[in-house]
Amino acid sequence: MLRVLLVMVVANLLGCCCANENVNRKSAVGDPGMKRDGLRVGFEAWNFCNEVGNEAPGMGSPRAADCFDVIPTSFNKNKYQSSSLEVEIQHKVTEAHNKLGVGKPFPGLKAEALTNPDEYAAQKELYLGNLCQVEDEDKSPWQFWMVMLKNGNYDTKSGLCPENGKKVGPFPPGRFPCFGNGCMNQPSFHHNPTSLNSSSSHNNHDLTLTGGFWGTYDSDSDLSRGIIDGVSYYQVTWEKQLGKGSWSFKHKLKTSKKYPWLMLYLRADATRGYSGGYHYDTRGMLKTLPESPNFKVRMHLDIKQGGGPKSQFYLIDIGSCWKNNGKPCDGDVLTDVTRYSEMIINPETPAWCSPISLKSCPPYHITPNNTKIYRNDTAHFPYSAYHYYCRPGNAEYPEQPSDSCDPYSNPQAQEIVQLLPHPIWAEYGYPTKPGQGWIGDPTTWDLDVGGLSSRLYFYQDPSTPPAKRIWTSIDMGTEVFVSDKEEVAEWTISEFDVIIT
């Protein structure tokens, strides 16, 4: 009897009780709906070219993780009704692991990566992935949700970033923010390892698990008294009630004069292969890769502060990679092309696409009933549904006029399709009016991302077979795109799931 009860309680604690709930749904992620007490969360910081460049002094390589299991330690039969089950947190990753940086070996590290900060970080992600990996019954291992932080400063005099994948030399400053030497630095990194917080509890069911990551790019600043004026800041804390509900990921991002362009996302990345925008083998959450049109994304988003007029808040951002001839990417940065599509929900974000700026629009729009509307059809094209479209820098036969996407901010050429709320997206469950899901309108979204992304325009060379649209990264968060003043964005994500339909 005791044994049976224990098993039931443990199953409940570990979040394995969802068999009835999810009969007809196949989740693509390791932790459907963020319900699992034993959390897996990783951290990665990128510079403008999605690399590391130089590590921040004393911080190690900017890859870290907080992964743990919740283990029952004792169980009192008599008092079960008053919930006297005791549990402890068993961490998989130590602070010594998180502090690993160039020059420090770890199991599996390739010799040539030991002193190369870019390759070291890529391999550290794999190592942390090994420590965190969960082996599901279906034999598809998964590792972690990924917190991604990126600094948009680019020191053009450094010649550090390739141009559409090609090595190029330094060029004069002016096009990108940079305060001078060191503007592409990595942030400080601090960690509150997840702990069980019993302060507010009357019984076990009120026990709360909490932990977090935070830091700043202004490495000479003291954060011990919290956020201060003039200093950039990022923070992600996670919280969950033991045995019930979903994790809540609370994000905060603050720009500063020196760091006016910052990005903070929560990503579900592929568990192997490349993930969107990243040209090293990756670890993540997507144990099945979703392919258009057959998947949906569900999550709850609560935005407390928007981050100002330049904050391109992505309700959803999907990333992938395929070549202009439709073939899958293979790591050749000269022909691989990163593809992104993003729904921006900041109502202050204007549509750059318009009848007088056709170059900012995709060549055509496809309606849910598969009618193609060309952008020169001013009576029918939904201009205000598109913030901006730019073609891959290496597209050989683009429809003109067109803008080429920024050639430096990805390891290879990229293509971006940015959407805005519009009635044309109603069919897919996307926002139809500016302001939906914005500050003061917390919303549980059920987005037909697969359906919508199957009908978006993406560039391909003429008469090549259409690429399979398989997405290796699905994320949300904000990109404060060169703020004029210090801005703060604050938001919470919970119940994140990717469902194969």
Ligand X SMILES: *[C@@H]1O[C@H](CO)[C@@H](O)[C@H](O)[C@H]1NC(C)=O
Residues that bind ligand X (CB under 6 A): 197, 199-200, 208, 210, 239, 367, 369, 371, 374, 376, 399
CB of 165 to ligand X, least distance (A): 28
- Pair 225, 112: CB distance under 8 Å: no
Q: Which is nearer to ligand X, 75 or 374 (CB)?
A: 374
Instruction: Show the tokens assigned to 461.
Output: 């060379």
CB of 200 to ligand X, least distance (A): 5
CB of 381 to ligand X, least distance (A): 10
DSSP readout, 4-63?
HHHHHHHHHHTT---TTTTTT-EESBSSGGG--SS-EEEEEEE-TTSS-SSPPTTT-SSE
CB of 211 to ligand X, least distance (A): 10
Among 198, 277, 199, 197, which Cα is nearest to 237's?
197
Q: Which is nearer to ligand X, 73 or 369 (CB)?
A: 369
Cα–Cα dist 271/347, whole Å: 34
CB of 371 to ligand X, least distance (A): 5
- Pair 354, 388: CB distance under 8 Å: no
- Pair 33, 56: CB distance under 8 Å: no
CB of 148 to ligand X, least distance (A): 25
CB of 239 to ligand X, least distance (A): 6
Q: Which is nearer to ligand X, 76 or 371 (CB)?
A: 371
Taking the CB of residue 464, how many other CB atoms lie within 10 A of it? 12
Among 177, 337, 373, 342, which Cα is nearest to 256's?
177
- Pair 285, 269: CB distance under 8 Å: yes
Q: Which is nearer to ligand X, 97 or 365 (CB)?
A: 365
How far lies 319's CA from each of 143, 201, 463, in Å?
A: 19, 41, 24
Cα–Cα dist 23/316, whole Å: 26
Q: Which is nearer to ligand X, 100 or 358 (CB)?
A: 358
- The two beta strands, 364-366 and 372-374, are antiparallel
Q: Which is nearer to ligand X, 366 or 482 (CB)?
A: 366
CB of 385 to ligand X, least distance (A): 12
Tokens 């921040």 sit at which residue? Answer: 56
Q: Which is nearer to ligand X, 241 or 436 (CB)?
A: 241
CB of 459 to ligand X, least distance (A): 14
Q: Which is nearer to ligand X, 80 or 374 (CB)?
A: 374
Taking the CB of residue 111, how many other CB atoms lie within 10 A of it? 7
Q: Which is nearer to ligand X, 325 or 367 (CB)?
A: 367
Separate counts of helices (H) and strands (E) for the chain:
4, 20
Cα angle 118, 122, 126 (rounded to 5 degrees) comes to 160
Q: Which is nearer to ligand X, 133 or 237 (CB)?
A: 237
- Label each residue of 101-133 as H, E or C: CCCCCCCCCCHHHCCCHHHHHHHHHHHHHHHHC
CB of 226 to ligand X, least distance (A): 14
- Pair 482, 178: CB distance under 8 Å: no
Q: Which is nearer to ligand X, 401 or 466 (CB)?
A: 401
Among 324, 448, 341, which Cα is nearest to 388's?
341
